[in-house]
Amino acid sequence: MKQANDFLIDMLDFDAPETADDTLWRACRPTGISCASNGDAFLIIPFQAQKKGLEVEANSEIARKEYKLRVRAYGDSILRLSIAFDESGPDDDSPMLEMHDSLVVETLSAQTTDSGWEIRDSHDRLRMRVNLAESPIKVWSDLQPPPDETLDIELFPDGKTSVPLMAYDQFFPQKHDSMAMAFVERAGVPHRALFSFHARPNEKFTGTGERFARLDLAGRTFILENTDGLGVNSRRAYKNIPFYLTSRPYGLFIHSSAHIRLSLADTSTRAAQGLVEESGLDLFVIGGGAVEQVMYNYRRLTGFPQDVPVWSYGTWMSRMTYFSEEEVRTVARKLREGDFPCDVLHLDTGWFAKDWVCEWEFSRERFPDPEMFIKDMQDDGYRITLWQMPNLGQGNKLFDMAVEKGYVAANPGREGKTGSDFSIQMIGGRIDFSNPEAVEWYQSLLERLLKMGVAAIKTDFGEDLHFDAEYQMPAAKLHNLYALLYQRAAFEITKKTTGAGLIWARASWAGSQRYPLHWGGDSACTWDGLAGSLQGGLHLGLSGFAFWSHDVPGFHGVPNFMNSWPADDLYVRWTQFGVFTSHFRYHGTSPREPYEYPAIADIVRQWWKLRYALIPYLVEQGQYVINTGLPMLQALIFHHEDDPTCWHIDDQYYFGDAFLVAPITNSNGVRDVYLPAGKWVDFWTGKRLDGSRWLKQIKMPLEHMPIYVKYGAQVPIYPHPVQCTDEIDLAQAVILTFDDSYRGMSNSILGTIVKL
């Protein structure tokens, strides 16, 4: 009923019945070093078996095993440590990797020192120090035996930043809280591998994917195993990314799609450690000297986000779900008549013959002429996007054929439900994206829709897998990778067919940032749903992603899932947050159209107009962030990493490089705002403010949200009211400068468009 507070149990699961035949092998002091002609260095590391039990004690009756640790340097800021405990090796063809041409392999050389070895690159930068020396002692007691030798290595990924493995994390020799490196055999076969890096007492940790948690993750342990998040206020996560960033600063990319237990100064407060459920380790230790540069280097490994079309920055309108062409046309007409600028109408689960039964075909009864319908919407400035999923029930007319051809991996012997599938169907199988023929078949289904004029596909689900089905890749390896393969297939056929790559995705793994864009899943229509969404977005931006969105004003009702509508003030506050997000979509289990909320409709209308006035800024910032390490929503540490306060702020952010945004997450309209170092301008009043201080108990009317702008910022604005982005000529954008000449929003060019 409670955790054991014991390393062997909490990290290695040695209390589980299935571990009866498990043997722990612990890394010892290296016995040799060599360098290859291709530039790599190799350490010979012996591993010693440990006796079974809940204490760490070497089993001297079993001979040590030696393994090679490969050390490779990419450029001046990345070190790769690879070790295999079986016959496998590092996978350079992994879909997680998309290495930039600038990542040249450095030539490494080894030198002997008084205390061990040093590895330097061709520019004489120190990249690794191996300590072989015995620690000095003064013998006065033999009450405890001396410690076993261990792996004691200090890494310098950028030649400056020290990142040591955690060598001696123990109380007495038999009681450890982490190990620098180890692996576990099950019945004589390598089963899982362990690593540990030293964590400083005040070191902060972020990243790990879309983590619905406070910004500093120190003191937390996570299982990196994609699952249906079922909201945004738990440890569950749709988007786990095997990457963390620390305040040292350095980043660690665990190159694996296996399930990973990651403990960040938690199981041991002096260790960041991970247990990877496969037979080796492939770790990229990433330096750069600054948060943004570390993130840039991570993208150089796993790929940069691609640009998104201008229309995607407009308003997206959706609900679960529109059921007919007539209904969608009514929504389109009411939005235009109400002067609500909008670019996208999304059809969720209801465009098929049967709700949720995804057969990739329009119901001809409710959408009798989909081609004409889509064209009419385009003529009125609307793009149509479509929901679908990779899960097929046995009632799906494509199921039997897809199983027979191997496109769908059937779940043998039973059907199953999946978390947020609210239909009555039972899932019989999932598309096998590890099968190239299945990918081609799936893309052909999407291609037909895209050629009709559909603008983008919502790649929903992708987190869960039937582990007893047969795929062309082991299920344990495919599970987390599934989201990446799924989204790549949809993105690539969309870009090929329409010329503009774009999807709307929920799950993710390392590399998914290449295929924008992603949204935050099924948040509750509550204040904590809003706050949790923002936390997830900030962590995702610290995991390599540039673009991100969320369901405005939350997805599901509380307490009645379908029929509790969002409160008016929540609707407005979430709208304000959405306007200052890279992408802006309304969606949920009840109607979300602003005219359904008459008491606040005009406030919402004005915020939508502000959004469209900011389209030139969004385009400018979007094109900038995809070539850097930055996201559109930037945690304050991207700009103020030396300010300890900023490592704990998860309810405000930079929007691009100009705006500081502090959403209201309560019904009283009051919050504290932290102004980081620098000079700032109040967006609403034009008042100049000095930073490095808190603004306490800021009271905002419902019409306003705290927004501050960097003094001197020059923001491109579209100076004319529009109904959609088709009416925007970016060449007509004007520059609004936030300096002494700025006298507040209503007295600026924005005030001619927006009445707030």
Alpha carbon distances (Å) from 90 to 243, 252, 276, 627? 17, 16, 14, 27
Q: Identify the bridge partners of residue 43 per DSSP, sorted by sequence position.
A: 33, 69
Q: What is the DSSP string of 103-172?
A: -PEEPPEEEE-SSEEEEE-TT--EEEEEE-PPPP------SSPPPPP---EEE-TTSS--EEB----BSS
- Sequence-distant (6+) residues with CB within 8 A of 5 are none
Cβ atoms of residues 229 and 238 within 8 Å = yes
Q: Which two tokens stand for residue 211?
A: 């983590």
> Nearest to residue 612, comparing CAs of 341, 354, 408?
341
Q: Is 463 a catalytic residue?
A: yes
**Bridging pattern class, strands 344-347 and 383-388:** parallel
Angle between helices 370-379 and 436-452 in degrees, nearest 10 = 60
Q: What residue type is assigned to position 145 of the chain? A: P
What gap in Å lies between CA 105 and CA 73, rounded to an integer?
6
Contact assessment for residue 302 and residue 513, using Cβ atoms and an 8 Å cutoff: yes
**Tokens standing for residue 78:** 């990345």
Whether residue 278 lies in the annotated active site: no
User: For residues 321 and 347, is the Cβ–Cβ distance under 8 A?
Assistant: yes
For residues 89 and 80, give the distance between their C-alpha atoms in angstroms, rounded to a whole number. 13
Secondary structure letter of residue 747 according to DSSP: G
Please count the residues of the chain: 756
Task: Decide if 229 contacts 522 (C-beta within 8 A).
Answer: yes
Whole-angstrom distance, CA of residue 626 vs CA of residue 624: 6
Q: What SS3 state is found at 325?
A: helix
**DSSP 8-state secondary structure symbol assigned to residue 50:** B
Of 410, 335, 415, 413, nearest in space to 380 by CA: 335
Peptide bond into 249 cis (omega under 30): yes
Q: How far apart are CA 21 and CA 48, in angstroms?
A: 16
Nearest Cα to Cα of residue 14 among 54, 57, 58: 54
C-alpha distances out from residue 521 to 223, 312, 486, 552, 555, Å: 19, 18, 17, 11, 8
- Token pair, residue 655, equals 């929007």
Q: Which of 739, 727, 741, 731 is nearest to 753 (CA)?
A: 727
Starting at the edge strand found earlier in the chain, the sheet holding 126-131 runs: 109-112, 116-120, 126-131, 153-155, 163-164
Q: Which of 169, 185, 522, 641 is catalytic?
A: 522
Catalytic option among 463, 464, 650, 651: 463
Rounded to whole angstroms, how far apart are CA atoms 332 and 750? Answer: 26
- Classify residue 360 by burial, with Cβ atoms within 10 Å: 0-12, 13-18, 19+: middle
Q: Choosing from 228, 282, 460, 464, which is the catalytic residue?
A: 460
CA 205-208-213 angle, to 5 degrees, is: 70
Instruction: Name the residues annotated as catalytic.
Output: 460, 463, 522
